[in-house]
Chain A
Amino acid sequence: MLREIPSQTAGPYVHIGLLPSAAGIPFEPERDWGAMLGPGARGERIRIEGIVYDGTGSPVKDAVLELWQPDAAGRFPGRDPGADPAFKGFARVASDFATGLFAFETIKPGRVPTADGRLQAPHGTLLIFARGINIHLHTRIYFDDEAAANAEDPVLALVEQESRRRTLLARRGLRDGAVVYRFDVYLQGPNETVFFDA
């Protein structure tokens, strides 16, 4: 049996490889992996934004984040039959170099079953890469307006301390009539976000 090669940090210049236009390289921006939505994607359009905070409470301004989520019916683009062809399901964004704010323009995901057939609450999977992060961090974004679904979600139930489950809930709000969810990530501290090993 072979063994997986070990991880190393993505470092401060991760953008060159993963989001070349953010690094200032004149790579065609349309070939950056930023967009989740095609023009006709079905479902509720939402924005998810937030900041990754380090253990001193400072914004992490050099992170790259990846979101992978199903379409509005809970099907994964390119992997599940009948998935919405106008929806890509994947986007990669950078934290803003000045403020640390990141943002995804997407649609509210549908529910996905577990291996044993139970339904999970709507969620997306978020991966975080940055200088000082030796192996990427894996978390989930749930939605605070899905209380009933969240209450029966088998993965949220794995988090022993109920107070920690709240670190996985994006808070719904409105801005200029558009739905904006806030999802901050705390790498350390009293509000440390739940990270997964899958």
Chain B
Amino acid sequence: MENAPRAFRPRDRAWHPAAWFPDYKTSVYRSPRLPLVSLTATRSELTAPVFGHDLIRASDNDLLVNGRVDGDPIGPRIVLFGKVLDEEGRPVRNVLIELWQANAAGRYRHVNDSYLAPLDPNFWGVGRTLSEPDGSYRFRTIRPGPYPWRNRVNDWRPAHIHISLWGASLCQRLVSQIYFEGDPLLPLCPIYNSIPDPAARARLLAKLDMGESLPHDTLAWRFDIVLRGPRQTFFENKREGA
């Protein structure tokens, strides 16, 4: 049984995208207008579900294989790997990492995606894994394609992989997107640009790693994940019996 810290550093909301970002039109009517109510985390927020290895299969982190019907998926083969750390730089283990992505043509296997690009019969675009004791994780997949979306007249999403993270505390819960360094669509994307600070945006760029690439097989992209870390509690006042 792993337990999270007793308290977390406050989340810097100015580092994250604002809820209301009019260039991303849907956010205009899906963003709360009243201030968030700040609360001191209780057991309800300091705990999190335990995701057991029983719900993870060996092929869940291999998207080249898990949707296979009669052949390999089409597209550039990549390894996506990295470490999950907290804000103090310590590895975080047993983090549930879930991925989803479009195929190499920019089409999602989803009942609501009607983009004219083809589905790949051998690719689902879904993966999951738990981070190792040293915080490391690894997926094998294909590099997703860019695709157009209904926002402004001619908006295209840069190639990206969605990522969902569940650590040992609900305070660490985070969903984000991984992009590829050097993509010329990045500066044009209102979703990427909803993050105000360029230094924060850069944190979502996977970096090419030739050292981890497999010659004649697969390129590797490194993406390190940082989750919220503990606030020191040495001098915290505690009530009697707490």
Interface residues, chain A, with chain B CB atoms under 8 Å away: 1-18, 20, 23-25, 27, 31, 33, 54-56, 60, 62, 68-70, 76-80, 88-90, 97, 112-117, 120, 123, 125, 127, 129-138, 140, 155, 158-159, 164, 187-188, 192-198
Distance, CA A89 to CA B166, complexed state (A) = 14
Q: Known contacts A5-B176, A76-B43, A127-B173: does B126 contact A17 (CB below 8 Å)? A: yes
Is B12 an interface residue, CB under 8 A from the partner? Answer: yes
Q: Known contacts A90-B49, A197-B39: does B29 contact A25 (CB below 8 Å)? A: no
Chain B residues with CB under 8 Å of A89's CB are: 49
The stretch that binds A, out of B19-27, B71-79, B129-137, is B19-27
Distance, CA A195 to CA B42, complexed state (A) = 16
Chain A residues with CB under 8 Å of B127's CB are: 17
CB distance from A88 to the nearest CB of B (A): 7
Partner of A187, one of B31, B48, B201, B204: B31
Is B170 an interface residue, CB under 8 A from the partner? Answer: yes
The answer to whether A132 touches B30 (Cβ under 8 A) is: yes
CB distance from B43 to the nearest CB of A (A): 5
Chain A residues with CB under 8 Å of B12's CB are: 3-4
Chain B residues with CB under 8 Å of A198's CB are: 38-41, 45, 170-171
The answer to whether B36 touches A134 (Cβ under 8 A) is: no
Q: Known contacts A188-B31, A188-B32: does B195 contact A18 (CB below 8 Å)? A: no
Interface residues, chain B, with chain A CB atoms under 8 Å away: 1, 3, 6, 10-13, 15-19, 21, 24, 26-34, 36-45, 47-50, 55, 57, 67, 85-89, 98-102, 108-113, 124-128, 162, 164, 170-171, 173-177, 191-192, 194-195, 200-201, 203-204, 225-229, 238-239, 241-242
Which residue on A lies nearest to B102, using beta carbons?
A13
Q: Known contacts A20-B126, A68-B170, A198-B45: does B27 contact A132 (CB below 8 Å)? A: yes
Chain A residues with CB under 8 Å of B109's CB are: 16, 23-25
| A/B pair count, beta carbons within 8 Å | 262
Chain B residues with CB under 8 Å of A70's CB are: 43-44
Distance, CA A162 to CA B226, complexed state (A) = 37
The answer to whether B112 touches A97 (Cβ under 8 A) is: yes
Chain A residues with CB under 8 Å of B242's CB are: 115-117
Distance, CA A15 to CA B162, complexed state (A) = 11
The answer to whether A6 touches B15 (Cβ under 8 A) is: yes
User: What are 16 sample pairs from A and B whose C-beta atoms fall under 8 A apart?
Assistant: A2-B86, A4-B227, A5-B227, A6-B203, A8-B17, A9-B27, A12-B112, A20-B124, A55-B33, A80-B43, A133-B30, A134-B21, A158-B37, A188-B32, A192-B32, A197-B37
Chain A residues with CB under 8 Å of B85's CB are: 2
Q: Known contacts A11-B162, A127-B173: does B31 contact A155 (CB below 8 Å)? A: no
The answer to whether B226 touches A2 (Cβ under 8 A) is: yes
